[in-house]
Structure 1
Amino acid sequence: MSPYDTASRTAPAQDLPEAAPVTDAWLVIPLFNEAPVVREVVTQARSVFPLVVVVDDGSADASADEAEAAGAVVIRHPINLGQGAALQTGFSYLLERTDATYAVTFDADGQHCVTDAAAMVRAAREEDLAVVLGSRFLAGASSVGLVRRLILRTAALVGSRTSGMRLTDAHNGLRVLRRDALARIDLTQNRMAHASQIVRQIGTMSLPWREFPVTITYTEYSRAKGQSLWNSVNILVDLLFS
């Protein structure tokens, strides 16, 4: 049994509906020490998005090998630089080596739903949007804890003010960027501050955008790693010093 299918480790496999593969978009997945789950995450993602680039950010485990075994293109950083740096490497790969119309940023730990990502790409196509940003708060109920919810709401208010965009969720890792927007992203913030930097840069583009309701699954696996807590701390540091 895959560890991704084991309830004690992380979320069960998603029941994905039959759909035509999304071939005009690449998933860009930053990866750091997610060997127990990344193979199944990539396998499930590739059932909808056959084109996936994973940027292994200096993992100390077998993460890169697991992602490669699932069929992803894998780029390896020799040392850990941070999620922002990994995303920028993935963006550069898409712009220089592919003809992708859209880039979709997607987490390696199973928290994002691939059907949400596909719906966001579809919205970008149908509504001629350059940017679609996932929001865990537009759908109403959320599994986000009170403290984290307050931090994320504060981050959204700050992001709205600094970017000129009206946001409900400025730190959601699920995003769709059309190629013209992608070419104008230049991440110099390697770590968590990259999320605020992306929003600020999008705000200067004068390109059509919108938020899109998505589901974030906080699994026992991610909670066991302390990810939710540390991400909240990092967001606070970002707000104070970026």
Structure 2
Amino acid sequence: MNTVIVIPVYNEAEVVGQVIKDVRAHGFPHIIVVDDGSTDESWCVASAHDVLALRLKVNRGKGAAVKTGIMAANLLNADVIVTMDGDGQHDPADIKPLITPILEGKNDVVLGSRLLHREDMPFIKVIANNVGNFFTWLFYGLLVSDSQSGFRAYSRYAALIIDTKADKYEYDSKVIREIKNNRLRFTEVPVQTLYTSYSKGKKNKQGFINGLVTLYRMVWKLIA
């Protein structure tokens, strides 16, 4: 079946080329990179690696980039769509375990969970993710072990039916809402996180302040 890997990037010129090479090395040549209005050479680097490289003119947010990539994959008639971050934290070796339940017809969505394989995850991140899980359950009524993970796989049916208006980091939690509201079959599989000096030093990562902003947006959307 045709599996397409969607990689949103924002100022990842230093590593996106290696991410593309690693994904290809694990047997997945169909890759879409979506540059979310980067101020560096992310789009140029991706384009040089012979992938479908799309570019948003302005920085709209992770959710917008992921949705753009999924839309493009749907237009390319992808049977399975995998979303993964472009900073090198996700291990391409985990792609096959992610897509297997979909290929076997057992699930519509597979969520990669860092908290099912958290030996190397910093304690503060474990706490932050559990807080995110709690509020996702509180607002949307579905409890998962890692509601903030961007490493996920979707069947064509799920990719077409999931519809969120979120453009920022709250997109990941809104997908959980869509799974529940559309009664999609889902499961979670453990995935590894590769913590590098590059990923730890990123300025544009989901941190404490961004987490509060994400929570605010989730609350605002409920009451607005």
The normalised TM-score by structure 2 is: 0.90
CA contact (8 A) 1:29 1:55 kept: yes
Structure 1 residue 93 corresponds to structure 2 residue 69: no
Task: Report the secondary structure of 1:152's partner residue.
Answer: helix
**2:28: which partner in 1?**
49
Q: CA RMSD in A?
A: 1.6
The CA deviation string for residues 49-83 of structure 1, in whole angstroms up to 9 with x for no partner, is: 11000111111111111112222101111111111
Task: Report the secondary structure of 2:207's partner residue.
Answer: helix
Q: Distance in 1 between matches of 2:37 and 2:203?
A: 19
Aligned pair partner of 2:139 in 156, 162, 165 = 162
Structure 1 residue 202 corresponds to structure 2 residue 179: yes
Unmatched segments (≥5 aa) in structure 2? 219-224
Q: Which structure 2 residues correspond to residues 30-179 of structure 1 after superposition, within 5 A?
A: 30-47=8-25, 48-96=27-75, 98-139=76-117, 141-179=118-156
Cα shift at 1:235: 2.3
Judged with a 3 Å threshold, the aligned counterparts in structure 2 of structure 1 residues 117 and 231 are, in CA distance, closer, same or farther, namely farther
Task: Report the secondary structure of 2:166's partner residue.
Answer: coil
Report sequence identity in percent.
Answer: 33
Q: Distance in 2 between matches of 1:64 and 1:75?
A: 7
Unmatched segments (≥5 aa) in structure 1? 1-22
Structure 1 residue runs of 4 or more that deviate by more than 2 Å after TM superposition: 141-148, 160-166, 230-233
Q: Which amino acid aligns with 2:107?
A: L
**1:19: which partner in 2?**
none
CA contact (8 A) 1:136 1:142 kept: no
The CA deviation string for residues 188-217 of structure 1, in whole angstroms up to 9 with x for no partner, is: 211111111111111111121101100011
**2:210: which partner in 1?**
234
Judged with a 3 Å threshold, the aligned counterparts in structure 2 of structure 1 residues 179 and 231 are, in CA distance, closer, same or farther, namely farther
